[in-house]
Structure 1
Amino acid sequence: MPDWLEIAIRTLVAVIALFIATKILGKRQVSQLSFFEYITGITIGNLIAYTSLELQTSWYLGIISLIVWVSIALGIEFLQLKSKTARTFIDGKTTVLIQQGKILEENLKKERLTTDELLEQLRKKNVFLVSDVEFALIEPSGDFNILLKKENQPLTPKHLGIEVGPTQDPQAVIMDGNILDEPLSHLGLNRHWLKTELEKLGVTLENVFLGQVDSYGQLYVDLYNDQIQVAQPQEKALLLATLKKCEADLEMYSLSTNNPNAKAMYATCSEQLQDVIREVKPLLNR
């Protein structure tokens, strides 16, 4: 067999073996690596390259070595799942670098980080003042996580006492001009509903690159032709405006009538509608 053909076959076998090994080891092997996973990745890469190009040795020996390494890596992962001590020994543990606005110099030296490197990591998190930080941690993966002091944290609806309606993942119901029936069924919708919504927006199915439905049943589309402007759904805004108009009308009727019973009835209805608006407003203000 010619050398070039043998190398091609070996490379093909090695790529398939590497793909299978990576699938077995899981997503952690291609995300943030621990020390052992980093070593495993380098070693497996070297084994695959050696198996592909070294013609003086039998190719199956490299595959056997690859299987052994994958087995060891799997054993280590299962051991980490079962033992906190093993996880700490292999991956290390989280180290606090800043506590209550104070840099912990000893921990900084332990992680062999300079002040410039620490400040760089803070800037990556949009933090420019150490005294603004409640806690700064370096994870075993090498990532920095920062918690600002409460007075420096951004405002959220919760801080303002505003209730926000729950949301779910939006579902893609149109992709590349084709309808996806499974996401539609997951939302309890059908093709007839989708085509009706497209007609409301004034677009054709063939011109839709991506169509998504949010958890409130509103359709948003992105078209192939970016020059066409598509109006955003207004159903929720119109519903909220209608409720407010009804409440204002009831209040006006209450003020304009001289009949005590009618005045009391309109006032009660107005208050009840105000309660309804207060409850549904978080769902409609999106």
Structure 2
Amino acid sequence: MPEHYEVIIRSIIAFSLLLIGSRILGKQTISQMTIFDFIASISMGAIAANLAFNTSVKIHHIILAYSIFVIISLFTAFISMKSRKARKFFAGDPTIVIQNGMILESNMRKMRYTLDYLNQQLREKDVFNMEEVLYAIIETNGTLTVLKKSPYRYATRQDLMLHETSQEKLPIELIMDGEMVSQNLEQNNISQDWLEMQLNKRKVNVSEVMYAVMAANGNLYIDKYKDNITSPIDKE
């Protein structure tokens, strides 16, 4: 087999392995990761890359190595679910870097966390004055969680002693890409006849609709393929 054909086939296999591995391991692999998740993901990516272009290594050896990493990741995830000590070992502990408006320098040094980066993370949380912070904690996935002092927190309905309103529902997607989303219609007891009647009122067919969604307040939003906008503000 010509070498370039082999690279093409191996690349397809490598992509398939990454896709299958990600599906098996779940959404954790693409969300904010812990140190262990990061190591596992990088290692599996490197193995898949070698499968794609390193023709000197046998395919079944790389697939075996990749499978071992997936199994190890699943095993550690299972252990972490069962044991708090295991979770602490694999993910570590959150670290407090600000307490009652005061920076904990020793914890900052242990984390090798600079003041510049801390200020950047605080600004992303809409905090420009450290004196407003009661606690700032670096989570195990590297993100910064901030709890402001009570005078600087946003008021809630409970704080204002307002009556609780009924729980709002999520928007329901009814049409996508010119086709009705039958599953959403069935789950929410919405008939196709009702939806077609609403479309007829607007003199539009299902095939002309790019997107239709029922908002939490019951209003129906419809976006057609033809927007009839002659001069768009920003055209790519």
TM-score computed with the length of structure 1 as normaliser: 0.72
2:147 alignment partner in structure 1 = 147
CA offsets 1:123-155 (integer angstroms, 9 cap, x no match): 011110111112211100001111222221223
Computing the radius of gyration from Cα coordinates, the structure with the larger value is: 1
1:221 alignment partner in structure 2 = 222
2:110 alignment partner in structure 1 = 110
SS at match of 2:15: helix
1:164 alignment partner in structure 2 = 165
* Cα RMSD (Å): 2.1
CA distance in 2, matches of 1:32, 1:224: 36
The residue correspondences of 1:69-218 to structure 2 (distance < 5 A) are: 69-162=69-162, 163-201=164-202, 203-218=204-219
SS at match of 1:72: helix
1:54 alignment partner in structure 2 = 54
Provide closer, same or farther for how the CA distance between residues 9 and 204 of structure 1 changes in structure 2, counting only shifts above 3 A: closer
Provide closer, same or farther for how the CA distance between residues 203 and 150 of structure 1 changes in structure 2, counting only shifts above 3 A: farther
Structure 1 unaligned blocks of 5 or more: 229-286
Give the total of aligned pairs.
Answer: 228
The residue correspondences of 1:192-271 to structure 2 (distance < 5 A) are: 192-201=193-202, 203-227=204-228
1:273 alignment partner in structure 2 = none
1:17 alignment partner in structure 2 = 17
Provide closer, same or farther for how the CA distance between residues 160 and 226 of structure 1 changes in structure 2, counting only shifts above 3 A: farther
Provide closer, same or farther for how the CA distance between residues 5 and 179 of structure 1 changes in structure 2, counting only shifts above 3 A: closer
Letter aligned with residue 147 of structure 1? L
TM-score computed with the length of structure 2 as normaliser: 0.86
CA distance in 2, matches of 1:53, 1:205: 47
Is the 8 Å Cα contact of residues 181 and 190 (structure 1) preserved in structure 2?
A: no
Structure 2 unaligned blocks of 5 or more: 230-236
Higher RCO (C-alpha 8 Å, min separation 6):
2
CA distance in 2, matches of 1:66, 1:93: 29
- Percentage identity across paired residues of the two chains: 34
SS at match of 1:169: coil
SS at match of 1:222: strand
Name the one with the larger helix percent: 1
CA offsets 1:218-255 (integer angstroms, 9 cap, x no match): 32222334457xxxxxxxxxxxxxxxxxxxxxxxxxxx
